[in-house]
Structure 1
Amino acid sequence: MGSADESGAGSDPLSLLSATFSYSEALAAGISEWQLYRLRDQGLIEPLGRGLYRRHDAGTADLDLIEVARRAPSATLCLTTALARHGLADEIPARIDVALPRGRHRPATIAPVAWHGFDPATFEIGRTELPIESETSIGLYNPERSIIDAIRLRHREGPDMAYAALRRWLRQSGASPSRLLGMARKFPRAERPLREALEILL
């Protein structure tokens, strides 16, 4: 005669779930809709938005970034948000600057997000991964790409932020203007103003 654990969800349905999981992932793990809502009502999981949940016993993490990463796997932190991550800007934006390939769907999120559409042909240039927790990471543009984006979009983002970030980056150990200019050649709107700024600052 089978035990109760053979039902799929077992006596501890949480053991079947990742730290952050979707409604469909819970159902695929054998957890019924009733069990899922019971876990929520018991405070064992918390919603991170529509159809997205997090285990209460999961470690601390940036829940806004987790939601963005789960909603849009290609999401990449950019502009002021990326500059702040690299210590190149003091401003903490009210909304998270997130780039997606131009034309990609921009999901609705509870997290405050400013979506930016970037050219798919250059989207991966300078893109790295920022771990949020053991199972989740989000894209992050490296310092060079972040400076280039700030300069090429300075008419929208403001020139002061871009050039202040460049000055601060030049003071960092390992900063390579030649490497920066090499990357900027792939962004015609950024190369000339960046070269002119470096001639003044160096």
Structure 2
Amino acid sequence: MRPVTPNSAVQGKGSRSGFYRSANRGAWERIARGLYLPEGAPAADWDQLEASARRPEATICLISSLAYYDLTDVIPDALDVAIPRGTRAPASEGAIRWHRFDAGTFLLEREDVVIPGSTQRIGIYTPERTIVDCFRLRADTGYEIPRDALKEWLRRGGKPATLMKVAQALPRSTKPVRDALEILA
């Protein structure tokens, strides 16, 4: 199930005021400003739905992506979402932390996944890109989180050459990743 807006819900079926009356009667559940799901829709991550609905290019990144891949024990306090630099971060009510990544490397190692409990899709960076980004942005994430994620990734059979290939494609990341690999290997 995809979230609907009042405009998309009433196309050819009535008026906006009619939609709001049905929402007030409980036919629609408000998940964010201007976004609704039908009452009784399957449980889904409302923050992911909101991010994906507000920005189709939204991509889960950093600690939220590490948590998705079970590479960290840290529970993120907000959904980390990347958007291309130069685009405006939308206003949101959910616990979403918007990050702006360089448009030239934005699609590097990006995949689409289905939001559980929904038919909507959202982007997510691969484990390798996420680890490299966490080292690159260690002022935001801290040094322990990417180091521990790298340890777990290596324990699962990750190849250092693959990680270095991703690190070389991103600015300011080759040296910290190489240093961490030398210490852990």
Structure showing greater radius of gyration is 1
**Counterpart check, 1:80 vs 2:55:** no
How far residue 42 of structure 1 moved from its aligned partner, in angstroms, is 1.6
Structure 2: runs of 5+ lacking an equivalent: none
CA distance in 2, matches of 1:19, 1:200: 46
The runs of at least 4 consecutive aligned structure 1 residues that moved more than 6 Å come to: none
Q: CA deviation at 1:134?
A: 4.5
Q: Which amino acid aligns with 1:98?
A: V
Deviation at 1:57, TM superposition (A): 2.8
Task: Report how far residue 22 of structure 1 moved.
Answer: 1.0
SS in 2 for 1:198: helix
Indicate if the aligned counterparts of 1:48 and 1:110 stay in contact, CA closer than 8 A: no
Looking at structure 2, the residues matched to 75 and 143 of structure 1 have their Cα atoms a distance apart, in angstroms, of 17
**CA–CA separation in structure 2 for the residues paired with 1:151 and 1:19:** 34
Task: After TM superposition, list the pairs within 5 Å mapping 1:116-195 onto structure 2.
Answer: 116-132=99-115, 133-173=117-157, 175-195=158-178
Q: What is the distance in 1 between the residues matched to 2:181 and 2:60?
A: 25
**Shift of residue 49 of structure 1?**
2.1
Change (3 A) 1:36 1:156: same
SS across alignment from 2:73: coil
TM superposition score normalised by structure 1: 0.86
Greater RCO, 1 or 2 (C-alpha within 8 Å, sep 6+): 2
State the alpha-carbon separation in 2 of the partners of residues 81 and 165 from structure 1.
12
Which one is further off, 32-41 or 114-123? 32-41
Match of 1:6 in 2: none
Choose from 30, 40, 57 the match for 1:57: 40
Distance 1:43 1:162 in 2: 44
Measured on the aligned residues, the alpha-carbon RMSD in Å equals 1.4
Whole-Å separation in 2 of the counterparts to 1:79 and 1:19: 25
The residue that corresponds to 1:24 in the other structure is: 7
| 1:97 alignment counterpart | 80
Shift of 1:188: 3.4
Cα drift, residue 180 of structure 1 = 1.0
Aligned 8 A contact 1:76 1:139 in 2: yes
Aligned residues with identical type, % of pairs: 40
TM-score normalised by structure 2 residue count: 0.93
Paired residue type of 1:57? G
Contact 2:2 2:120 survives alignment (8 Å)? no
Q: CA deviation at 1:19?
A: 4.2
**2: distance between equivalents of 1:128 and 1:52?**
25
Residue of structure 2 aligned with 1:41, choices 24, 30, 34: 24
Q: How far 1:145 moved relative to its partner?
A: 0.4
The DSSP-based 3-state class of the residue aligned with 1:180 is helix
